[in-house]
Amino acid sequence: MTHKILIVDDEPNIVMSIEFLLKKEGFVTETAGDGDAALEKVRSFVPDLVLLDVMMPKKSGFEVCEVLRSDTASHQPRIIMLTAKGRETEQAKGLALGADAYMLKPFSTKDLVAKIREILAA
């Protein structure tokens, strides 16, 4: 089964590189550049996993994660939060809001793919 992944980040270069990598690994991808667009894409694309940047315009990754986890009527994708904010309080907040994992930027593409496969296999 081919997994669908939504990449949510406001940095176009990051989105392009992650999208290229994931397509090469056989995943189907869609992208969103802000929190509001991410919520719309989750409804239309129905991803298995969301790669979610924390600091974005309109809605932060924390807000998007909270909305996704509170909406029990809709699909509940797995969530990996990606951020340059590495303090333990931010990590704890992301996990408390329902993220499945938290990865710090910059990250290795090998580690990212391994984490995605691990989360989707769980």
For residues 61-76, one letter each, b for 16 or more C-beta atoms within 10 angstroms of the residue's C-beta and e for the rest, the string is bbbbbbbbeeeeeeee
Distance from CA of residue 14 to its chain's centroid?
Answer: 12
Alpha helix ranges (H) inside the chain: 12-24, 35-45, 61-70, 88-96, 109-121
- Averages of pLDDT over runs of 10 residues in the chain (122 residues) are 94 95 97 96 95 93 94 83 81 90 90 96 89
4-121 topology per CATH: Rossmann fold (3.40.50)
pTM score = 0.94
> Which residues are registered as beta bridge partners of 61?
none
- What are the backbone dihedrals phi and psi of residue 97, each rounded to the nearest 5 degrees, phi first? -80, -10
Alpha carbon distance 34, 23 (integer Å)? 21
99 near 79, Cβ under 8 Å?
A: yes
pLDDT at 89: 83
CB 13 within 8 Å of CB 39: no
Bridge partner residues of 99 (DSSP): none
Phi, psi of 81, deg, nearest 5: -85, 135
Q: State residue 103's pLDDT score.
A: 92
pLDDT of residue 68: 93
Q: Where are the domains of the chain?
A: 4-121
pLDDT given at position 88: 80
